[in-house]
Structure 1
Amino acid sequence: MSGIVVVFDFDDTILDVDSDNWVVDQLGFTHLFNQLLPTMPWNSLMDRMMMELHSHGKTIQDIEQVLHRIPLHPRVIPAIEAAHALGCDLRIVSDANMFFIDSILKHLGIREYFSEINTNPGYVNEEGRLRILPYHDFNKASHGCTLCPPNMCKGLIINRIQDLISQEDNKRIIYLGDGRGDYCPSLRLKENDFMMPRKNFPVWNLICKDPLLVKAEIHGWSDGEELEQVLLQLINKISIEENAQLISSDCKLQTLSVSAHKALPKVLPIRP
């Protein structure tokens, strides 16, 4: 299924929780997080929280151990494995960070299934502290989108993916997400694409206000089991349509070939 690009959000989509909240809560810093939340953007707050964790003696290994026990629905990994086995191009567009995502995917054994991860940079500095930086450096310039947080416009990322795959014929996108940040990319999808919003989450509620604004087909899902069912049904639907187009093309070529053969002038045998 080389003609299908499946784009996953990460938190509350592949995972059943938000990885940022999970790390902060599990390491006992919820109260400080809630105190600081009204004072700065989320992405900047997470960088600050990593500084606080480090200053209180929490190590990178402590963070990794917490990430390795993060909850996810048991059918999500089989869904990803099946989509990959069917030849889909799997990508992630997430407002989490590279360190969290890499750690979790490697632990689950599925990191190599994803051709691309678009997220906020996250790395361990020379002091052994985790740094989390914005995908778009909003201190230098705004990304110009009023729908998205200052550090990341997922719509711009989808536009870039669309530009890359437009060079290849009949590429179609299936986008899965849950949050407010997934609304902007849903508006950038095309008519032959598919949007899979998580039911009763922010992106679902935003789409339901005016579904006609989304050009792509909308297919909701509520949990990992339904995610697997809907995703594989859509992949199968696209596969059937692609096969039908190939058969139709073959039939047309055969018809043209027969017509051309009939149109050739008949050459009469020469009498001796």
Structure 2
Amino acid sequence: MKVLLACDFDHTIINDNSDTWVLQLSSDKVPADIRSRYDIHGSWTDYMDEIFKFLHSKGITPEQIINHMQKIPFVDGMKELLLLQAQSQSVDCIILSDSNKIFINCILEASGLLESIGAVYTNPAEFQENGCLSVSHYHKHGCQLCPVNLCKTEVLQNYLKTCRENGKVYDVVVFVGDGGNDFCPCLNLSERDAVFARKGYRLVRKIEKLTSNKKSNLKPEVKIWESGFEIKSHLESLLK
């Protein structure tokens, strides 16, 4: 049995939104003109790029950002889940996230979990020479269900295709998420796969709305989760 664990990050691995978490560094509210521009362009990634410029203008340093991100809490059981797959030759893990590379790498590295992740697919980010953090879109795509910066289905399918071309075939994909941007991949998994949707979050509501229709074409098994321990138990049952 070869299993791919594909996880969202915000409100899935960590128990908060890394983009809103960083705003705690400023005592000032986001200016109205930045909020109004988000209403116009509708891109959260572009909005965050403006937020990072705002934080820089307030004197927030790269060191402050990194130190603050390292304090973000993990969802209960997620560290144990990632350690399980890291120790198993039968499970690989990738992250598909609308956050950014700086935040995710910083958080995972601080917890000693970065090396346990096979790949991270998220928005590129870097600190510029002046210390301002910048972020850009991961890719362009034509999917109408996903945010303009990232289609998780396209990334996941390309990953699986590359693996097959290199002689690695997964028997099962276990997809774990919480938000509306995790819905698209669920529609493109097979009957042998599983979707773990976090209880109380938008992904559950979207799946429930879809499956209320008798003509629903959702193929994977759907499980509602509250902690990483439930997902860990599922993986352990697959590997028996």
Give TM-score, length-normalised by structure 1.
0.79
Q: 1:97·1:132 contact (CA, 8 Å) conserved in 2?
A: yes
The alpha-carbon distance between structure 1 residues 72 and 170, as it changes in their structure 2 partners (threshold 3 A), is closer
Which of 102, 106, 110 is 1:103 aligned to? 106
The reply to whether residue 136 of structure 1 matches residue 136 of structure 2 is no
Partner of 2:61 in structure 1?
59
RMSD: 1.8
Q: Is the Cα contact below 8 Å between 1:165 and 1:171 reproduced in 2? A: no
Residues 96-115 of structure 1, C-alpha deviations (whole Å, 9 max, x = no match)? 00000011111111000001
CA displacement 1:133-153 (0-9 Å, x = unmatched): 11124xxxxx11110111111
- What percentage of residue pairs aligned between the two structures are identical? 29
Aligned residues: 230
Residue 46 of structure 2: aligned partner: 44
Q: Deviations over 1:173-218 (max 9, x none)?
A: 1110011110001111111111111122111110111234321111
Q: For residue 15 of structure 1, give the secondary structure of its aligned residue in structure 2.
A: coil
Q: Please identify the structure whose Cα radius of gyration is greater.
A: 1
1:117 aligned residue (109, 117, 120): 120
Q: Is the 8 A contact 1:90 1:115 kept in 2?
A: yes
Residues 75 and 238 of structure 1: CA distance in aligned 2, closer, same or farther (over 3 Å):
closer
For residues 161 and 51 of structure 1, what CA distance do their matches in structure 2 show?
33
Question: Per-residue CA shift, 1:11-65, capped at 9, x if unaligned?
Answer: 0000111000110134335443655542431100100111111122110011112
Is 1:8 the equivalent of 2:7?
yes
1:108 to 1:35, Cα distance in 2 relative to 1, 3 A: farther
Runs of 4+ in 1 over 6 A off after TM superposition: none
Q: TM-score, normalised by structure 2?
A: 0.89
AA in 1 matched with 2:39: P
- 1:267 match: none
- Counterpart of 1:188 in 2: which secondary structure? coil
CA distance in 1, matches of 2:24, 2:181: 22
Aligned to 1:152: 150
List alignment gaps of at least 5 residues for structure 2: none
